[in-house]
Amino acid sequence: MSRFFSSRYDALSPYTPGEQPQDRRYIKLNTNESPYPPSELAVRMAQEEAERMQLYSDPDCRSLTAEAAKILGFSDRELIFTNGSDDILNFAFMAFCDETHGAAFPDITYGFYPVFAALNRVPYREIPLREDFTIDPEPYFEAPENLFIANPNAPTGIALPLPLIEEIVKSNPDRIVVVDEAYVDFGGESAAPLVKKYDNLLVTRTFSKSRNLAGARLGIGIACPSLIRDLQTIRFSTNPYNINRMTMAAGVGALRDTAYFKECVHRITNTREQTVRELTALGFTVLSSRTNFVFAKHPGIGGEELYLRLKDLGILVRHFTIPRIRDFNRITIGSPEEMQALVHAIKKIL
């Protein structure tokens, strides 16, 4: 840290993204990317847009908003786009949380929430998951803070049923409830339709997972118009051009290509079920996943050791050193061939 770094950030310990090593070719099952390329339409539209790069992008994201409104069934005023959904989560902390409006989220969840809280100097409380890693909804009813709930949760992969999400939203009319649906397309139930009924609900989604655009950086927020206006105030006060031209065009293409989206999701969920069967047969405990990854542990080998041994064999998975989950690894669902290679490597290690 230089002597110029603001003391405002004394307590800040930045988010650690999954490894992106360049030293050799790995089978990458560590950052929940799609094993499939983007839609051809998305690529073509982004390529065409690249020829207009000398011009700023549309700060109102009109083409993307119109397409999303049509495909997802919301009005323009209920949608906001950001540079990945990480951006909108940060905007939610900036817009709705402060010293007196803290945040609460599960103790085991997306590791960026505490970072955004620290960045924005927001006090936060971690609510323990149950022993079986499911969310106990009780502590979320009439909570004293704004709530951030990844549903399905990460890295567990477990989903909270929609009626419980609705009860949480309903019981907190004076708090914001952010439901982070990064993985919802792989088998979760979306809370997004509830934004028509509750003015305290913000649903976030991403194009990084089910729409194969992690590198393009595109996220969506869905909420009632007054919350969207607040988030736009933050966006226009930080970077109104946060969606570049190519990403905007790719997003339109990815939304339009519904058939390809459905095919990829279908393939990934099928591969997931096959992987769960194979890992279970090898003696793993695999949590019930509604996402494009599985969270698994084996009684015969520690989480870190398995991670390191797989890495030696050219396969990357994600290991977390948090005590409650250090026996586990989070394994992204890749192509069937990649998962066969994983199972083969695990058999060798065991």
Report the interface residues with ligand PMP, using CB under 6 A: 84-86, 110, 150, 154, 180, 182, 206, 208, 214, 219
Distance CA 26, CA 312 (A): 10
Q: How far is the CB of 96 from ligand PMP (least distance, A)?
A: 17
Q: How far is the CB of 85 from ligand PMP (least distance, A)?
A: 3
Q: How far is the CB of 239 from ligand PMP (least distance, A)?
A: 15
Q: How far is the CB of 111 from ligand PMP (least distance, A)?
A: 9
Nearer of residues 148 and 298 to ligand PMP, judged by Cβ: 148
Q: How far is the CB of 110 from ligand PMP (least distance, A)?
A: 4
Q: How far is CA 287 from the centre of its chain?
A: 18
Q: CA nearest 153: which of 193, 104, 107, 208? A: 107
For residue 193, the 8-state DSSP code is G
Distance CA 328, CA 302 (A): 8
Nearer of residues 298 and 319 to ligand PMP, judged by Cβ: 319
Distance CA 201, CA 178 (A): 6
Nearer of residues 188 and 219 to ligand PMP, judged by Cβ: 219
Evaluate whether 303 touches 327 at the Cβ level (below 8 Å). Answer: yes
Residues 6+ apart with CB under 8 A from 136: 127, 128, 129, 130
* Token pair in block for residue 110: 């997306």
Q: CA nearest 223: which of 197, 246, 242, 195? A: 195
Would you list the DSSP string of 86-105? HHHHHHHHHHH--SSS-EEE
Nearer of residues 205 and 298 to ligand PMP, judged by Cβ: 205
Nearer of residues 156 and 232 to ligand PMP, judged by Cβ: 156
Measured from each CB, the residue nearest to ligand PMP is 84
Q: What percent of the residues of the chain are helix, what percent strand, and what percent coil, each to the nearest 5?
A: 45, 15, 45
Nearer of residues 85 and 289 to ligand PMP, judged by Cβ: 85
Q: How far is the CB of 154 from ligand PMP (least distance, A)?
A: 4
Q: How far is the CB of 282 from ligand PMP (least distance, A)?
A: 26
Nearer of residues 232 and 247 to ligand PMP, judged by Cβ: 247
